[in-house]
Amino acid sequence: MKGNDRVLEMLNVLLAEELTAISQYVVHAEMCADWGYERLHEADEGRSRDEMRHAEALIERILYLEGTPIVSELNKMHIGADVEQQHRNDLSSEERAIKMYNDAIALAVQVGDNGSRALLASILRDEEKHLDWLQMQLDQIGQMGIQNYLAQQLADE
């Protein structure tokens, strides 16, 4: 089924965002593992896997709409030098993604592409969960201080 050119372009923009997020979260996960923050390592890996599922779903939809998935373009990654900066960078990425998904949903509705709209709405819900988790982590850092927060991120022995 031939898809709308504007929708296909937006799907590829979102694909670049997801592929970038995968890379950023993997780097953050491995940095946390290196620092011994096993809980954060697992959380970042989990978000990376979610983003991989999103990328796969976008590729599948682009192909269904007879488009060409562009997987060679990434956006600028923002790697945090410490855990708090990682959370802040990831929060900014999720906020940007949520805006992009809302804009893409509006476009899909405008052109009558309800299949893309449903997919995008599903991914949007995941991105909102990621945003909520990151906001919670930053709230905890603010309330208990970074040292107490980090002490809770160590692996249970």
- Band of residue 157 on the pLDDT scale cut at 50, 70, 90: low
Mean pLDDT of 28-35: 97
List the chain domain ranges.
Answer: 5-152
Q: What is the pLDDT of residue 9?
A: 97
How far apart, in whole angstroms, are the C-alpha atoms of residue 152 and residue 65? 46
Q: Give me the helix-helix angle, 5-35 and 114-144, nearest 10°.
A: 30
How far apart, in whole angstroms, are the C-alpha atoms of residue 92 and residue 97? 9
**pLDDT single digits (tens) 85-103:** 999 999 999 999 999 999 9
CATH topology of domain 5-152: Ferritin (1.20.1260)
* pTM, rounded to two decimals: 0.93
Q: What is the pLDDT of residue 54?
A: 98
